Chain A
Amino acid sequence: MTNTSAISTEALRKEYGSNVAVADLTLDVPRGEIFGFLGPNGAGKSTSVKMLLGLVQASSGQAQVLGTRPGTPATMRQIGFLPEHFRFPEWLQAGELLDLHGRLAGLDSATRRRRSAEVLELVGLSEQRTRPLSGFSKGMLQRIGLAQALIAMPALVFLDEPTSALDPFGRMLVRGIIRELKQQGTTVFLNSHLLGEVEATCDRVAFIKQGRVLHTMPLDSSTTTQLVVELRVGAAPPALLAMLEQFTGNAVQIQPPDTATIPTNGTTTLALLLADPTQLPALAQHVIAHGAHLYALTPRRTSLEERFLEIIGTSDSGQ
């Protein structure tokens, strides 16, 4: 546990009677990271978040959030939270809700006014400031919930399924907001089972199942070492294949032509595994120097979905 950690837990456990919600959560999230928390339904994601927020007392284990015990007012001053089951007093107007949360966060009235306007703008609800929440759609409520989470300029934001009620535009908006938060140095703890969303925004992900972290991995392309490259060439004589195998140090596969989606035009598609993305320019040069006609060179990371099924699925077979 270091001071540079936004969140750091050690064997955190929560039992409800004989039911174990979280078995053994050991995590370390550095400050400024966008951290994705992935797992199937009932994996203990929300309970973990609640323990980190002090809403739920851990049965055993250690947790530090921003260097202190979870849930203390000093910690919570720097934290924003959008719950999975977002519900707000519906008799309040949007602006009043933000003002209330600003007050509870200890902001003075000038800051509250300024921040309310800023976060309403951010989530695209500026026009709805004086509208009662009772008239809001589910998506609008989730947006105002996000605004509420960000009102006090938190250093750490917990977003529990933040786009569950949003349309594609809303999802794009949230992605943009998360990227903006990263630029500001805010740590984001993103709880989600929408993998595409996590893939688009997170620096690192943890796979959790039955309250245990099965695997963590970085998603940033500069730190991912291996990647699959698709190469479309005019022809694939054995000499080219031999050169590629020597270059990559791995076997090269000739892909079966996928005529349904892409017309082959007499080309051949090869799949090869590169140890490092920095090899990409050299690979292109080698192919051209070899005299081959290069139609396409597409680096592909293994999709998170594949990894998810692989990791969660493997452990499933062992149960």
Chain B
Amino acid sequence: MQIVATLTWLTFHEARRRRMVVAALLLGGLFVGLYWLGLQAIVNEMNNGDVPFLVRQGAYNFLVVAALYVVHFLTVMLSIFASVDAISGEIATHTIHTIATRPIRRWQIVLGKWLGYVLMVTLYLALLCGGIFAVSWLAAGYLPPNPIAAVGLLILEAIVLLSLSLLLGTQFSTLTNGVVLFMLYGLAFVGAWVEQIGAFLQSSAAIRIGVISSLLMPVESLWRRAAYLMQLPLANAVPTPFTSASLPSTAMVIYAIGYALLALLLALRVFGRRDL
């Protein structure tokens, strides 16, 4: 466990030394700050005019979900960019040689890195989402339903992507890994829209395409579920970009957990057997 902890620490240390932490915190802070300014302006406007309570709640809700959509997008980017080079890069530069010849098991290297990235992205998501919820509460006195569950789903998105990225990194070059991850994400993104439109048009073939793409890459459907959970029941009945006509079920969440777990276990196993 000490070995895994050392390698986890190393991942954090690298992010800090390479100024990734500073950059992410600064830009994250900027994002939350801008969001605050914008929200405050809207709140002032609403307070001046005579806007009905329900309309106001609907607007605040839309704004929080929109901000979280940005965070979801950042989660995808951050998870891929942070980890895509983690294993393949060290193999390509031979940095792995001196680490792997220490009295440790290979899987400890992968698990240490995985834990490092998961903790880092989780912490960052908690800060960003916490910031948005805090701003919404302070400026508008509004909190969406199920905030914790929504953040949990975003964290699960990160875990799915990080696990898959490390698995692909044990086999492919950094470039191939990145291309595959983005293609899979693109597929899931388009698939999700096909599924939504299919649900409106009641086309079972379109829904099936969406489900299959979500099975290949469950990240987008996790976001759909998070957005659904955070919206008012009324808002979910009105079509907006965040409305889910076809709602990803809890089975999809369980599937995503299994997907991540399997990817991680495979990564640990595959890396243990490959030639370095």
State the Cβ distance, B12 to closest chain A Cβ, in Å.
Answer: 12
Q: Chain A, 82-119, contact with B by CB distance < 8 Å: what is the 0/1 string? A: 01011111011000000011011110000000000000
Contacting pair A50 B276 (CB below 8 A): yes
Contacting pair B101 A73 (CB below 8 A): no
Asked whether A188 is an interface residue with its Cβ less than 8 Å from the other chain, the reply is no
- From residue 94 to 113 of chain B, which have CB atoms closer than 8 A to chain A? 94-95, 97-105
Contacting pair A55 B100 (CB below 8 A): yes
- From residue 6 to 57 of chain B, which have CB atoms closer than 8 A to chain A? 6, 10, 13-14, 17-18
Asked whether B123 is an interface residue with its Cβ less than 8 Å from the other chain, the reply is no
Name the CB-closest residue of B to A54.
B101
Interface size class, chain A: 20 to 34
State the Cβ distance, A137 to closest chain B Cβ, in Å.
Answer: 18
| B contact residues around A79 at 8 Å (CB) | 101
Contacting pair B103 A73 (CB below 8 A): yes
> Which of A55, A100, A104 has the most chain B CB within a 10 Å cutoff?
A104
Name the CB-closest residue of A to B102.
A104
CA distance A79 to B102 in the complex (A): 8
| B contact residues around A76 at 8 Å (CB) | 101-104
Name the CB-closest residue of B to A16.
B275
Contacting pair A55 B6 (CB below 8 A): no
Q: Chain A, 61-91, contact with B by CB distance < 8 Å: what is the 0/1 string? A: 0000000000001111101010101111101
Asked whether B3 is an interface residue with its Cβ less than 8 Å from the other chain, the reply is yes
CA distance A88 to B2 in the complex (A): 21
Q: Known contacts A55-B275, A57-B275, A91-B18; is A101 also within 8 Å of B102 by CB?
A: yes
Partner of B95, one of A56, A77, A88: A88
Asked whether A148 is an interface residue with its Cβ less than 8 Å from the other chain, the reply is yes
Name the CB-closest residue of B to A73.
B103
CA distance A242 to B242 in the complex (A): 107
Asked whether A145 is an interface residue with its Cβ less than 8 Å from the other chain, the reply is yes
CA distance A269 to B232 in the complex (A): 105
CA distance A91 to B99 in the complex (A): 16
Q: Known contacts A89-B14, A91-B14, A91-B18; is A55 also within 8 Å of B101 by CB?
A: yes
Q: Known contacts A56-B275, A56-B276; is A74 also within 8 Å of B95 by CB?
A: no
| A contact residues around B95 at 8 Å (CB) | 87-89
Q: Known contacts A50-B276, A55-B275, A89-B14; is A104 also within 8 Å of B97 by CB?
A: no
CA distance A50 to B276 in the complex (A): 8
> Which of B2, B6, B100 has the most chain A CB within a 10 Å cutoff?
B100
Partner of A53, one of B99, B101, B104: B101
CA distance A56 to B274 in the complex (A): 7
List 9 tightest A-B contacts by C-beta distance, closest first: A104-B102, A91-B17, A73-B103, A77-B103, A85-B94, A76-B103, A56-B275, A83-B97, A55-B276
**14 A/B residue pairs, CB under 8 Å, sorted by A:** A50-B276, A55-B97, A73-B104, A76-B104, A81-B97, A83-B98, A85-B93, A88-B95, A92-B13, A100-B10, A104-B6, A104-B102, A145-B98, A148-B98
A contact residues vs B (CB 8 Å cutoff): 50, 53-57, 73-77, 79, 81, 83, 85-89, 91-92, 100-101, 103-106, 145, 148-149
B contact residues vs A (CB 8 Å cutoff): 2-3, 6, 10, 13-14, 17-18, 93-95, 97-105, 273, 275-276
